[in-house]
């Protein structure tokens, strides 16, 4: 028995203890590797969220730019008391209503004067009120669109939380007022829902006043931080000790005896923070049971320990190493179509599946963002009422067609149209009737002349006919267009057809034509020749030689 006891002691001292220590070392090593994977996951989650919000802000800047460049907005701000002021306000209201109706994230769009009084709004009932934004820090009012902290709106018992996107409206360098988009938090909630972090992870988007914009995970949302202020003391120490020269980084801290990892990203200019956090102890908790199992196997048979060590290296260490390499590739290439290998139903397999779902979601989201950007580009080139090209897009198109015309030696024609007595339509049939006339003319241009047409502004239109080598064909097209317009449309209850008469100016390009702007100018002069005569006709001229 004594020898047996000695053998057992020698076995424990010489084999079991070293093997146990080796098992502990292996567990520690692989836990560190798993922690690296989680750190990369948190970093990628925060980075993707940051990119999505920056893209969202860019879209709002595009919306804002469209509004502040509109002349009616400046007239509404500067022309009170003038004859056209009420019309400018009404049209500005329509412009703002279009912005709000075409974007599910915009609750309302408002134009304020320098006293923060509502001049125009997508909700006309608010006109004349003083905006709550008057009490905001002046740093949020700049020529660039800025996102404010969370603002409580409504009355007591019926409050809602919004974020305002604010931009100064300038005219010739002078401040005229402010454009305000009141944004609901739906976009940020949807963005947080799309972030798949570990089952106990949480994503926070926090404003400059440390108020939550949204928080939670894909399963549920939160209205407060997971930890109380007192429980987060170690977090605050880690936050104060961070590298303040960098706008992002990892924070390691403890709370209630458990270890947390958070990755933060700070926005430049709007002092928001995206914070993705995970309780690493809970993620690693299931792995601690392996230690007892390894020790038990060591006590029973050293050979099995060696087999387990081999299995762990093959099915845990190597997959994690491959995951880390793929994370590096994803981080370097921004290619979210890459997927982790399927290693089965073990923990690494579960993590791989969760990461693959996250990558698939991000890939779909980014593709959706690309599509949205493409749609925005189309909207930026088109008149919102008629669907024709706007003035700026048409000028670029005409210049390209002119260059192509010079290369091929084939002249083009530029047509400029102005609806005769358009104000009578608005007076007799209201602005809705006027809009129907504009749509009627736009459809006639598409069917009779072609899609290379634009609305220059108001009731003025322009068309490019690329191949104008046969003047008789061009004149025939104009005659067909005039006949189509004279047939008219029904605007009143009696169902009578009301003719739409236009003054039309046409100019053919030649080798002396230099720019699209000159071509439009000549066509405009030709149109005014008709206007000064009897209206309701067309005039064809050639460009003047320089």
Task: Report residue 510's pLDDT band, with 50, 70 and 90 as the boundaries.
Answer: confident
Task: Report residue 287's pLDDT band, with 50, 70 and 90 as the boundaries.
Answer: low
The C-alpha angle 243, 54, 68, rounded to 5 degrees, equals 130
Predicted local confidence at residue 380, as pLDDT: 78
Q: How many CB atoms lie within 10 A of CB 231?
A: 13
Q: In this predicted model, which residue has the larger pLDDT, 315 or 516?
A: 516
d(C-alpha 189, C-alpha 263), whole Å: 19
Is the model's pLDDT at 2 over the cut of 50?
no
Q: How many CB atoms lie within 10 A of CB 371?
A: 10
Predicted local confidence at residue 337, as pLDDT: 78
Predicted local confidence at residue 320, as pLDDT: 74
Q: What is the pTM of this model?
A: 0.46
Is the model's pLDDT at 157 over the cut of 70?
no
Q: How many CB atoms lie within 10 A of CB 329?
A: 12
Is the model's pLDDT at 124 over the cut of 80?
yes
Predicted local confidence at residue 315, as pLDDT: 61
Cβ proximity of 127 and 144 under 8 Å? no
Q: Is the Cα torsion angle 156, 152, 189, 183 positive or negative in sign?
A: positive
Q: In this predicted model, which residue has the larger pLDDT, 35 or 440?
A: 440
Tokens standing for 83?
């004859």
Predicted local confidence at residue 1, as pLDDT: 40
Is the model's pLDDT at 110 over the cut of 80?
yes
Cβ proximity of 496 and 438 under 8 Å? no
Q: How many CB atoms lie within 10 A of CB 456?
A: 20
Helices 17-68 and 302-312, packing angle to 10 deg: 20
Least confident among 33-37, 123-127, 141-145, 265-269: 33-37
Q: Given the DSSP bridges, would you call strands 537-541 and 502-508 parallel, antiparallel or unpaired?
A: parallel
Q: Which residues contact 488 (CB under 8 A, 6 or more apart)?
A: 497, 498, 499, 500
Is the model's pLDDT at 305 over the cut of 60?
no
Rg of the chain over CA atoms, in angstroms? 34
Is the model's pLDDT at 156 over the cut of 60?
no
d(C-alpha 309, C-alpha 5), whole Å: 28
Task: Report residue 388's pLDDT band, with 50, 70 and 90 as the boundaries.
Answer: very high
CA-nearest of 328, 425, 233 to 39 is 328
d(C-alpha 134, C-alpha 342), whole Å: 56
């Amino acid at each position: 028995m004594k020898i047996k006891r000695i053998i057992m002691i020698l076995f424990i001292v010489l084999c079991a203890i070293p093997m146990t220590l080796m098992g502990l070392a292996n567990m520690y090593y692989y836990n560190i590797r798993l922690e690296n994977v989680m750190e990369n996951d948190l970093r990628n989650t925060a980075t993707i969220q940051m990119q999505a919000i920056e893209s969202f802000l860019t879209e709002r800047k595009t919306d804002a730019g469209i509004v502040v460049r509109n002349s009616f907005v400046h007239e509404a701000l500067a022309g009170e008391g003038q004859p056209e002021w009420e019309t400018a306000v009404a049209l500005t209201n329509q412009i703002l209503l279009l912005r709000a109706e075409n974007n599910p994230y915009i609750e309302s769009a408002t134009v304020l004067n320098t006293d923060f009084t509502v001049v125009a709004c997508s909700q006309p009932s608010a006109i004349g009120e003083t905006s709550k934004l008057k009490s905001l820090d002046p740093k949020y009012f700049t020529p660039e669109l800025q996102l404010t902290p969370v603002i409580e709106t409504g009355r007591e018992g019926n409050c809602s939380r919004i974020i305002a996107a604010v931009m100064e409206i300038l005219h010739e360098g002078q401040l005229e007022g402010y454009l305000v988009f009141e944004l609901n938090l739906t976009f940020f909630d949807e963005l947080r829902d799309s972030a798949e972090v570990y089952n106990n992870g949480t994503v926070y988007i926090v404003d400059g006043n440390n108020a939550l914009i949204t928080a939670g995970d894909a399963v549920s949302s939160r209205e407060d931080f997971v930890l109380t202020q007192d429980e987060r003391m170690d977090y605050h120490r880690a936050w104060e000790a961070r590298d303040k020269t960098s706008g992002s980084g990892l924070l390691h801290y403890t709370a209630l005896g458990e270890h947390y990892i958070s990755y933060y990203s700070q926005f430049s200019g709007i002092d928001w923070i995206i914070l993705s956090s995970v309780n690493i102890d809970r993620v690693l908790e299931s792995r601690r049971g392996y230690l007892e199992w390894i020790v038990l196997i060591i006590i029973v048979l050293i050979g099995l320990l060696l087999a387990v060590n081999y299995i762990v290296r093959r099915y845990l260490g190597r997959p994690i190493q491959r995951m880390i390499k793929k994370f590096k590739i994803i981080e370097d290439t921004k290619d979210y179509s890459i997927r982790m290998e399927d290693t089965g139903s073990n923990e690494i397999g579960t993590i791989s599946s969760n990461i693959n779902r996250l990558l698939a979601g991000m890939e779909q989201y980014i593709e959706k963002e690309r599509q949205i950007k493409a749609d925005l580009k189309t909207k930026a080139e088109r008149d919102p009422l008629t669907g024709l090209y706007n003035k700026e897009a048409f000028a670029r198109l005409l210049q390209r067609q002119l260059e192509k015309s010079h290369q091929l030696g084939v002249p083009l024609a530029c047509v400029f149209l102005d609806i005769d007595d358009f104000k009578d339509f608005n007076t007799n049939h209201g602005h809705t009737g006027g809009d129907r006339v504009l749509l009627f003319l736009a459809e006639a241009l598409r069917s009779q002349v072609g899609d290379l047409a634009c609305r220059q502004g108001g009731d003025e239109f322009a068309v490019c006919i690329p191949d104008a080598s046969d003047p008789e064909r061009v004149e025939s097209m104009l005659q067909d267009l005039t006949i189509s317009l004279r047939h008219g449309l029904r605007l009143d209850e009696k169902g009578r057809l009301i003719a739409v008469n236009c003054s039309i100016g046409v100019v053919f390009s030649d080798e002396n034509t230099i720019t699209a702007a000159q071509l439009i100018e000549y066509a405009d002069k030709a149109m005014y020749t008709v206007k000064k005569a009897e209206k309701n006709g067309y005039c064809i001229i050639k460009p003047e030689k320089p």
